[in-house]
Amino acid sequence: MKSVSSSLPVFRFRAIRAFKALDNGTQRKWVVVAAARDLPINLPLDANARVPNVLKNATCAEMRQTLMKSPEMFQVFNGGIVCTASSVELKQDGNDHIVEVAFDNEAEQGIVNGGHTYATLLHTLHDNTTYSDGKDLRVVLTQDARRGSAELADLVIDEESLAEAVSRAREKAQVQIEFVAPVGDAELLAQIARARNLSQSVEATALANLAGRFDLMKDVLRNAPAPFGPGLVDRIVWKTNQEVPEDSQAIPVKLLIQILALSNTKIYPPATRVANEVYSRAGVVVREFGESEGEDLRFYDALTRLLPDLIRLYDHIYSSLPEIDQNFPWADGKLDSERKKRRVTPTTPILARPCLSRVVNAFIWPIFSAFRVLICENSDGSLGFRTDPIDLFEDIKTEMAMTVQSFHRNQAHGIVHQVGKDKEVWVRLQAQIESEMKVRERLATAR
């Protein structure tokens, strides 16, 4: 790698063949075939919707077997790597064809598809363990052999044979790389990622992350006072296969999106629409958040600025429900079943505070969503609560918990999902909050 006057990092490597495949006057695409051993070992992966993991991805095992047994076929069997970049130049250096690629880190350029191909080549040809949980090639090949790749068994028990196979792979394996440049727009990057990742499921949250849809959420949570801050942001899983710091509890970003949706009074006005649709359409809600625009986007951004308060309320309700009735099966809703003692103390899903039991979404979501009736819009467009929601919950928490329990036992006949789907219990819980607010208003007037 070298730098140029523009200060963008430039990666330089030999190519076997290279040609310009497209030039529409704005974007250009180059197709490069290179010896796999010549790939730079530190190409940026921020543009990839997934964090590569060569242990979790089954296709990586197939790639390892190809590299070990028939590396000359790797380019035939493999779809290659796709990169976005700022610029690409093809040069001649003596007898060598040289590719120089400049990446803009701020635009999250780099490998947009084929991250697992890249990670497998690094791991197999260079024994780079960055994307293998620190496990070297021999350990991983041993795991492959135990899982049914019998052809690899001979290699893992003979160091000399393994070394010869790696040497042959370094000599024979070639890979195709496509470079698309310039790509400096986040929306275009997300479109390319979506189009190029259809062969393997990519979570909607990963694509939203590429498009910068979570930037405001990251800023709000990073800058909020304890228990928020950078440590909590690092625990949030923003993209597929992302790992969180060791010994810390991961937070799916989709849960934060669902919390925002449950609180969204624009999409679910308390007087006219019940938010039980969030439970029934939990996955669709995540995609709709990423694709929101106009007034919907403005309101979601306002809700995002309120997210620390929403999280405090959510975790408080979560930890309180098992305390109200320790005999109720909050974790699974299975009535009259033998309760097994947990070896690990449960914690709340976001702030990771100890609690007595897990609580399924079907029980907590209707209660939490009912508090959206307290959300009001200020003159500057910001959002707030008419009164402290945690204080109000403390006053009526037993009544609200009993409403959920009664509905679960009677109307839902012990079926947990029915509690989440049926709008009746959601309406009842909302009515309890509205009734408590009216009582408080009357008492305030009487004073």
What Rg, from alpha-carbon coordinates, does the chain have? 27
**CB 60 within 8 Å of CB 54:** yes
**CB 84 within 8 Å of CB 112:** yes
Strands 251-252 and 236-237, bridge-based pairing: parallel
Rounded to the nearest 5°, which phi and psi values hold at 7?
75, 5
pLDDT beneath 70, residues of the chain: 1-7, 47-50, 107, 148-151, 183-204, 207, 210, 336-344, 447
Nearest to 403 by CA among 381, 384, 389, 422: 422
pLDDT digits (tens, 9 = 90+) for 12-69: 999 999 888 887 777 788 899 999 999 998 888 876 666 788 988 878 988 998 999 9
Q: Look up residue 60 and give its amino acid.
A: C
pLDDT digits (tens, 9 = 90+) for 305-362: 999 999 999 999 999 999 999 999 999 998 765 555 555 689 999 999 999 999 999 9
pLDDT at 242: 78
Nearest to 49 by CA among 104, 106, 122, 112: 112
Other C-beta atoms lying within 10 Å of the C-beta of residue 421: 16
pTM of the model: 0.62
Report the percentage of the chain scoring pLDDT > 90. Answer: 57
Give the span between the Cα atoms of 135 and 25, in whole angstroms.
45
pLDDT at 53: 87
The dihedral region occupied by 53, where left means phi > 0, alpha psi between -120 and 50, and beta the remainder, is beta
- In the beta sheet, which residues pair with residue 376? 384
pLDDT at 197: 54
Rounded to the nearest 5°, which phi and psi values hold at 348?
-70, 150
Cβ-Cβ contacts under 8 Å for 87 (sequence gap 6 or more): 8, 101, 102, 181, 182
Query: DSSP letters of 21-72?
Result: EEE-SS-EEEEEEEEGGGS-TT---TT-SB---TTT-HHHHHHHHHHHH-GG
Side-chain half-sphere exposure of 423, counting CA atoms within 13 A: 9
